[in-house]
Amino acid sequence: MTWEGQEPNLPSILLNSHMDVVPVFEKSWNYPPFEARIVDGVIYARGVQDMKSVAVQYIEAIRRLKTKGVTFKRTIHLSFVPDEEIGGRNGMAKFVKTEHFKKLNVGFALDEGLASPNEDYLVFNSERSIWHINVNCPGKSGHGSLLLPDNCGEKIRYIIDKFMDLRRESQKKLEDNPELTIGDVTTINLTMLKGGIQNNVIPEKMTASFDIRLALSVNFEDFENMIKNWCKEAGANVTYDFDQKDAYVDPTPVDNTNQYWHAFKSAVDKLKIKLKLRTFPGGTDSRFIREEGTKALCFSPLRNTVPGLHEHNESLAVSVFLEGIKTYEEIIPAIANV
């Protein structure tokens, strides 16, 4: 959706949202998850925080601004993309490579953020890089009663211990420094184990899969070399491969060199709401936009709200939803008139 500006040759503003949501375990919900039922002033629905509320807030804020008869310097585009919840590889990742996207001439983009449990708003100018890695540990197959050499179980134990030790280091950093948030450290989680056919047969291979989110401070080459060394130390023929391996993406500047940041912050300051700047802990489509060299912030105008994305009974107070529309009525004119 496009609202042309007074000076359409200027770089445009993109308000992005994703249409897809994660699946539900419907029996665990108090209300039908796709009905968006309002109970005692609270909306219960899958995607109400992540991120259909923001998509509708964009549209309603634009409708209100158009009704007032105002116009802005810069053209505003709204995009609604698929596949964000499964990595965005067939959604925004491909869209930014198209001629259509290039013609949009985007100078600045907004995308989803996270709800704040406090009075402030959270805004994110960067995010960690996602690595989904499989470590494959082959070994000698045989009877489960024997102690055969070249054992895949021993190898996979070594690998798991190394990754989990590193996970513990990140936990300790957070424990020792209350100023740090989850987005400031590298997170590692063992997510899948594969191997074996039955209990009395030693398998010929076992595989451990890890979800890694690399902090901005990590040297990616050194980190991968560390994994290579672990594989060598674990035993013969241990290998690894990636299901996903994101490159490092520079954060969007949040200083005087970024006029969009100044306009965004000034609009929120005008509302007398404090902003807390963070590194996004998960992954959003904005990383593909930033990778193209476009400035982007992740922001959801949801406060006094416990984050509940992907959870059972995902919910949002109607009052918070409506306040967010008013917030965009301030932000959109500010960034579109830069």
Task: Find the CATH number of the domain harbouring 16.
Answer: 3.40.630.10
**Exactly one of 83, 84, 127, 285 is catalytic; which is it?**
84
- CATH code for position 228: 3.30.70.360
Q: What is the mean pLDDT of the chain?
A: 97
Domain that holds residue 182: 129-245
pTM above the 0.85 mark? yes
For tokens 């992907």, the residue is 310
CA dihedral 29, 30, 35, 36 (to 10 degrees): -100
Q: Are residues 115 and 153 in the same domain?
A: no
Pair 115, 49: CB distance under 8 Å? yes
The count of other CB atoms within 10 Å of the CB of residue 308 is 15
How far apart, in whole angstroms, are the C-alpha atoms of residue 127 and residue 42? 30
Which residues, 6 or more positions from 67, have their beta carbon under 8 angstroms from its beta carbon?
none
- Do strands 201-202 and 142-143 pair parallel, antiparallel, or not at all (unpaired)? antiparallel
pLDDT per residue, tens digit, the chain (338 aa), is 999 999 999 999 999 999 999 999 999 999 999 999 999 999 999 999 999 999 999 999 999 999 999 999 999 999 999 999 998 999 999 999 999 999 999 999 999 999 999 999 999 999 999 999 999 999 999 999 999 999 999 999 999 999 999 999 999 999 999 999 999 999 999 999 999 999 999 999 999 999 999 999 999 999 999 999 999 999 999 999 999 999 999 999 999 999 999 999 999 999 999 999 999 998 899 999 999 999 999 999 999 999 999 999 999 999 999 999 999 999 999 999 99
Residue 116 sits in the same domain as residue 11: yes
DSSP 145-159: TS--SS-HHHHHHHH
Tell me, yes or no, whether 283 and 233 share the same domain. Answer: no
Shared domain for 9 and 30, answered yes or no, is yes
> How many angstroms separate the Cα of 91 from the Cα of each of 57, 129, 266?
21, 18, 32
- If one counts the domains in the chain, the total is 2
Q: Do 167 and 207 have their domain in common?
A: yes
Residues 196 and 174 in one domain: yes
- Integer-rounded Cα Rg, in Å, for the chain is 23
User: Do residues 258 and 201 share a domain?
Assistant: no
- Residue 164, preceding peptide bond in cis (omega within 30° of 0): no
Quick one: 103 and 119 in the same domain? yes
Active-site residue 20, yes or no?
Answer: yes
SS3 263: helix
> Where is the domain boundary, 223, 245, 267?
245
Q: Are 123 and 278 in contact (CB under 8 A)?
A: yes
Query: Residue 254, Cα to own-chain centre: how many angstroms?
Result: 19
DSSP single-letter state for residue 251: P
Instruction: Please state, in angstroms and rounded to a whole number, the distance separating the CA atoms of residues 199 and 193.
Output: 15
- 112, 174, 334 from 186: Cα distances, Å: 21, 11, 35
Judge residue 182's burial from the number of C-beta atoms within 10 Å of its C-beta, 0-12 exposed, 13-18 middle, 19 or more buried: middle
* Active-site annotation holder among 20, 224, 292, 323: 20
Q: Which of 245, 262, 284 is the last residue of a domain?
A: 245
Where among 205, 227, 245 does a domain terminate? 245
**Bridge partner residues of 241 (DSSP):** 134
pLDDT at res. 282:
87
Q: Are residues 28 and 98 part of one domain?
A: yes
Residues 118 and 133 in one domain: no
Give pLDDT tens digits for 16-72.
Answer: 999 999 999 999 999 999 999 999 999 999 999 999 999 999 999 999 999 999 999
Catalytic residue check, 84:
yes
Side by side, the strands of the sheet bearing 2-3 are: 2-3, 76-81, 12-18, 106-111, 295-299, 121-127, 275-280
Are 186 and 140 found together in one domain? yes
> Do 295 and 268 lie in a common domain?
yes
Phi/psi of residue 136, nearest 5 degrees: -105, 120
